[in-house]
Copies of this chain bind each other. A is one copy, B any other.
Amino acid sequence: IHRIHPTHGIIGEEFGNHNADAEFVWVLDPIDGTKSFMTGKPLFGTLIGLCRDGVPLVGIIDQPVLEERWVGIVHHGTTLNGQVVQTGDVVHDLSDAMMYTTDPQMFREGYELERFTSIRDAVKSPVYGGDCYSYACVASGYADLVIEADLGVYDYAAIVPVIQGAGGYISNWEGGDLHLDKHDTECHGRVVAAANHQLWTSAIDLLSSDTDG
């Protein structure tokens, strides 16, 4: 990337950052789901995101064992191995939703765990494990929701265009846009992805509500 696009920036989980304030920035995670990779579960993936002025525009989720590659472009669509995919628009109530979470221990005691628990108790069923493949399952119309925390920008920059291109919604827990510059100030590593607008607004209501209220 550096040789072909010398003005572009790169943010990588494994290789550090380079020119991260550039107009175009590539966000790379060579192996998302390291524990899955180590233990033989083929749900890990390579994530490649391209952001413009901090906004994720193009994303790739590549799963080499299954030979599956999702490519999402905002306002343009999402494909799986070249075939257009779309998120589900049948499940609209949380009580009917299948919700992915990679690891229940990613939620810190207090604020995060309380809100995760409230949405876990509201959905039809939580499903654990999945890494980036969880979001791919939402993009392909199989899963309804993903709720996670403790993520880095390299964990979601590639995911955002895949979900949005497929017709889904993805944001921080307060419903705010996922933007490279807002990671520390607004996102705090907390991400929700939903198959459709109704599920997303219901999830945001629970995730952003005051626990004392």
Which residues of A pack against B, CB within 8 Å?
A: 35-36, 38-43, 65-66, 98, 100, 102-105, 125-130, 133-134, 136-137, 140, 142-143
- Using known A-B contacts A66-B65, A66-B66, A104-B104, determine if residue A38 contacts B126 with beta carbons closer than 8 Å: no
Q: What DSSP secondary structure best describes chain A's contact surface?
A: mixed
Known: A42-B66, A103-B128. 17 other contacts (CB 8 A): A35-B98, A38-B98, A39-B100, A39-B127, A40-B137, A40-B142, A40-B143, A41-B43, A41-B129, A41-B137, A43-B43, A66-B66, A103-B126, A104-B104, A104-B128, A105-B126, A129-B129
Q: Which residues from chain B contact A36 at a C-beta distance below 8 Å?
A: 127
Q: Which residues from chain B contact A41 at a C-beta distance below 8 Å?
A: 43, 127, 129-130, 133-134, 137
Most buried by B among A36, A100, A105, A127: A127
Q: Which residue of B lies closest to A136 (CB)?
A: B40
Q: How far is the CB of A97 from chain B (nearest CB, A)?
A: 10
Show 23 residue pairs from A and B whose CB-CB distance is below 8 angstroms, ordered by the A residue.
A35-B98, A35-B125, A35-B127, A38-B142, A39-B137, A39-B143, A40-B136, A40-B142, A40-B143, A41-B43, A41-B127, A42-B42, A43-B43, A43-B129, A65-B66, A66-B66, A102-B129, A103-B126, A103-B128, A104-B104, A105-B126, A127-B129, A128-B128
Q: Which residues from chain B contact A35 at a C-beta distance below 8 Å?
A: 98, 125, 127
